[in-house]
Amino acid sequence: MLLILLTAFIVFISSNSAKENKQINSQFEHFITVKGDKLYEADKEFRFITFNIPNLHINEDPLPDGWHRSQPWEIEDAIRSISQIGGRVIRMYVPSIKGGKRPGHDKMSHINAPGSYNEELFKDLDLILKTANEFGIRLIIPFVDNNQYFGGNLQFAAFYNKTNDVKTRDDFYNNPEIVSGFKDYISFMLERINTYTGIKYKDDKAILAWETGNEISPPPHWTAEIASHVKSIAPNQLVMDGNFYIQESSLEIPEIDILSAHYYWESEMLLDSLRDDLKQIDGRKPLIVGEVPVRDTLDLVRLLDTIINSNVAGLGVWSLRFRDIKGGFYFHFEGGSAPMGGLVYRWPGFPNGDVVNERGVFQVMRRKAHEIQGITPPKLPVPDPPFVFDIAGDGKIRWRGQTGSAYFILEKSKKQNGLWTIANEKLYDDACPFEPIQLEEKHDKGFYFRMKAVNGSGVSKPSNIVQYN
């Protein structure tokens, strides 16, 4: 009996020590809740204006063969960017599924088969949740896509293909075996224990909502079944309808907490469609504008003023891309031409983004993201020092910027601890793809170099020092 008690005590101590060793540093005290057509954080209404970040958890860029894991530094840069903008929320993209256009059948995917998941990719999602908690950013996570880019409902259904029996999207929503398998995947997500924090996903306050899907068109019975399943496991977290458009049937499903729609229309049509949706909802549930394109700052101001002066809970512009750990930014050609590709924004905005009004869009977004909260935008932090990579034999300087850096100053010196002079007073890391700076062997060989990052709030401390040998 003594041995049994001693063993139990050791197990108890080990379990609690392991839990205490997890790094838990969250800014959140409350789950987001719903009352009528409003979201609340404790007793205060919760509203937001932000950006979608589709590559936060796995990166498809640069196309066509850029499929790779997002690095911890990149994840933090993305989340810090939203924090500096004042966005409060990030809507992610879906977990990837084997057979999708990007992962195909030979690259890593979050979901390999029913009950088979890529642990390393889910550890990346663990890190995203940990970092979101630390920076006070909430997440919206959709379960499955209607499109095939990352793999979607068609690829999930294909797991159940049999000879002469190819499954369809209709099967995804109606085949009992497939629906059961999809619910098993949801259970895996909700019950997962974060390897960094020790918190189950279903208990993580950083998750604002689970979205039933991205731009899906399911029958009402499927939406009701999936929402009910989520609520049975995670009653404290919200469920957002993943239909492309507002569905009257979703207004009648008690387990659907939030309605969402995507508005890819021109300015006046967009506003008319939004007003029609609000009239249909009639205060019964909160509405989040899940995705909206932005091309003109005047149209953006009109849209965001409409959002702020209505009962819309939140809005996500499509889309923000973050810095590449190797230098520069990730870029994505999406219905546009070089250098920006259209509908892609990089904080805090750069000259070659003027083709999509990038700097103006960020100015409006930051102002309105704080206005919807009823507060004044604080002064941006001065950037952290950039990092300069060792100069290779090609004599080119490559560097990694820091969140909020608008441009960079390059300095040189004959001695490491000598007098520093400005070699270039304004460099950008906005080229797509990133372009290093070519040094001149005749004038620069043997010199030491360092950089400083600049934004509207000031100049960073100097970077590390490198020598051109």
* Separation of alpha carbons 334 and 119, rounded Å: 30
Q: What is the pLDDT of residue 21?
A: 58
Q: Is the pLDDT reported for residue 19 higher than 90?
A: no
The rounded radius of gyration (Å) of the Cα atoms in the chain is 24
Q: Give the model's confidence band at 24: pLDDT under 50 very low, under 70 low, under 90 confident, else very high.
A: confident
* Separation of alpha carbons 15 and 17, rounded Å: 6
Q: What is the pLDDT of residues 278-328, one digit of tens each?
A: 999 999 999 999 999 987 899 999 999 999 999 999 999 999 999 999 999
Q: What is the pLDDT of residue 17?
A: 44
Q: What is the pLDDT of residue 266?
A: 85
Q: Is the pLDDT reported for residue 170 higher than 50?
A: yes
Q: What is the pLDDT of residue 332?
A: 86
Helix (H, G, I), strand (E, B) or coil at 376: coil
The whole-model pTM stands at 0.94
Distances (CA, A) of 61 to 55, 106, 109, 319, 403: 8, 17, 15, 13, 19
Q: What is the pLDDT of residue 178?
A: 98
Q: Is the pLDDT reported for residue 387 higher than 70?
A: yes
Q: What is the pLDDT of residue 432?
A: 83
For 1-9, what is the mean pLDDT?
47
Q: Which of the 8 DSSP states describes residue 355? A: G
Q: What is the pLDDT of residue 26?
A: 96
More confident of the two residues 7 and 256:
256
Q: Is the pLDDT reported for residue 189 higher than 90?
A: yes
Q: Percent of the chain having pLDDT more than 90? A: 88
Q: What is the pLDDT of residues 192-241, one digit of tens each?
A: 999 999 999 999 999 999 999 999 999 999 999 999 999 999 999 999 99
Query: What residue spans of 330-391 are helical by DSSP H?
Result: 358-371
CATH code for the structural domain at 8-371: 3.20.20.80
Q: Which residue has the tokens 């195909």?
A: 104
Q: Which long-range contacts (CB under 8 A, 24 or more apart) does 407-410 make?
A: 407/453, 407/454, 408/451, 408/452, 408/453, 408/454, 409/451, 409/452, 409/454, 409/459, 410/437, 410/449, 410/450, 410/451
Least confident range of 59-73, 144-158, 271-285, 362-376? 59-73
- Whether the Cβ atoms of residue 94 and residue 242 lie closer than 8 Å to each other: no
Q: Is the pLDDT reported for residue 1 higher than 90?
A: no
Q: Give the model's confidence band at 6: pLDDT under 50 very low, under 70 low, under 90 confident, else very high.
A: very low
Q: Is the pLDDT reported for residue 13 higher than 60?
A: no
* Separation of alpha carbons 376 and 385, rounded Å: 27
Q: Is the pLDDT reported for residue 5 higher than 50?
A: no
Q: What is the pLDDT of residue 139?
A: 99
| Mean predicted lDDT score pLDDT of the chain | 93
Q: What is the pLDDT of residue 340?
A: 45
Q: What is the pLDDT of residue 65?
A: 82
Q: What is the pLDDT of residue 335?
A: 63
Start-to-end Cα distance in the chain: 72
Least confident range of 13-22, 47-56, 254-263, 384-393? 13-22
Domain with CATH 2.60.40.10 in the chain: 387-467
Q: What is the pLDDT of residue 7?
A: 46
Q: What is the largest CA-CA distance in the chain?
A: 82
Structure tokens at 302: 């009109």
CATH code for the structural domain at 387-467: 2.60.40.10
- Whether the Cβ atoms of residue 285 and residue 253 lie closer than 8 Å to each other: no
Q: What is the pLDDT of residue 14?
A: 43
Non-local (6+) Cβ contacts of 218 within 8 A are 173, 212, 226, 243
Directed axis angle between helix 358-371 and helix 72-85, to 10°? 70
For 112-130, what is the mean pLDDT?
98
Q: What is the pLDDT of residue 10?
A: 43
* Separation of alpha carbons 423 and 400, rounded Å: 18
